[in-house]
Structure 1
Amino acid sequence: MSSQLSHNKDQPRIRKSLSDSSPTSSTATTKSLRHERLSRLSSTGSSDVSNDTTTNHAESYFSRRENRLSARKKAEEETANNDYKKMYEKALATNQRLKSRLETSKQELVMIQEQLQRAQKGRKGECGSNMLETEKKESWSLKKKISDMEEQVKVKADLKMENQRLKDENGALIRVITKLSK
């Protein structure tokens, strides 16, 4: 047995990872590796009885190893599938939540736009009525000023006529006084 171990140490080991081989050829590769190892073990020169025991022991070792690797691979695939499924479900839930928020935001936007339009229409009416009221007040005040000025002009005209009449009387009185004093 020690000769077998030393013989196995001298020979380079050939290892292939599972990622190097395709999934369909993994069992064929495993079987060919097992066959190579078995042929190396049988060529060591030991007796047929020990060779059979070693072969059975080696076969059981490789079959157990193969079972463990396949179980581990299945577990990793299931975990990966579960992870992808969980990630998909999480993304789907997030998308649904965001879609609902988007819909409520759109509804709020429509309501705000309607309120803005109503407010602008109200302001236009208010601004128009305010403008009319201010224009009416301005025109009324201007008309009042115009009527006041017209009255003042009439009074001035009356005063000028009165002044002219008084000048004429004054001139006549001066002439009468000058004739009397002579």
Structure 2
Amino acid sequence: MSSLLSHNKDQLRTRKSLSDSTPTSPSATTKSLRHDRLSRLNSSGSSDISKDRTVGHTESYISRRENRLSARKKAEEDSACNDYKKMYEEALTTNERLRSRLETSKQELAVVQVQLERAQRKGRTADCSSNMLETEKKERRGLEKRISDMEEELKVKAELKMENQRLKDENGALIRVISKLSK
């Protein structure tokens, strides 16, 4: 365990020494050059001027850094604004699509309602006509029954006429017989 800790410490030391010795970024090299210049100026005896320059450099560095940060924030706000714009536009397109679907649904509903009314009218007329048909059928049955009754009566009348005629003929024959007998 202690060997691991000592190994890690050695790696950290070598990393620190490498980073201190060779600057990897251009900004690090410019910082070291500035530091060298400032140290030369300080050694020459103009410490007030170097302090002013250092303060000026620091202020300019801070202002540039603030500018970069504000630019980043502005870019983030713009991207967020663009995101809101995209979301708003998507919502608008979705709303338009839904409105068009709603309109087509309303039109389909109106067509279906018209068809339903027509079907109901036909049903009413069919009900009325079926009621009329039923009454007509009843009347027809009644009439057919009356006709058959009348036909029966006609047959009976015909039989009665024939019977009446036969009786008249017999009566005439009897009258002739009685008249011959009375003479």
Deviates further, 79-88 or 52-61: 52-61
Task: Say if 2:73 is the partner of 1:73.
Answer: yes
Task: Say if 2:122 is the partner of 1:122.
Answer: yes
* 1:53-94 deviations in Å (ceiling 9; x for gaps): 321231122112111111012102211221121111111101
Q: Which residue of 2 aligns with 1:55?
A: 55
Unaligned runs of 5+ in 1: 1-45, 156-182
What is the TM-score of this pair, normalised by structure 1? 0.52
CA apart distance, 1:126 = 1.6
Q: What letter is aligned with 1:72?
A: R
Q: What letter is aligned with 2:100?
A: S
Task: Say if 2:83 is the partner of 1:83.
Answer: yes
Tell me the distance in 1 between the aligned counterparts of 2:110 and 2:141.
Answer: 46
Kindly report which structure 2 residues correspond to 1:135-174, keeping only aligned pairs within 5 A, or say none: 135-145=135-145
Q: What letter is aligned with 1:109?
A: L
CA apart distance, 1:50 = 3.4
Q: Which residue of 2 aligns with 1:101?
A: 101
Q: Which residue of 1 aligns with 2:37?
A: none
Q: What letter is aligned with 1:58?
A: T
Q: What letter is aligned with 1:75?
A: A
What is the TM-score of this pair, normalised by structure 2? 0.51
Tell me the distance in 1 between the aligned counterparts of 2:128 and 2:49.
Answer: 116
CA apart distance, 1:104 = 0.3
Tell me the distance in 2 between the aligned counterparts of 1:114 and 1:53.
Answer: 89
Which runs of 4 or more aligned residues in structure 1 lie more than 3 Å from their structure 2 counterparts after TM superposition? 142-153
Unaligned runs of 5+ in 2: 1-45, 156-183
Tell me the distance in 2 between the aligned counterparts of 1:94 and 1:65.
Answer: 43
CA RMSD of aligned residues (A): 2.9
User: Rg bigger for which structure?
Assistant: 2
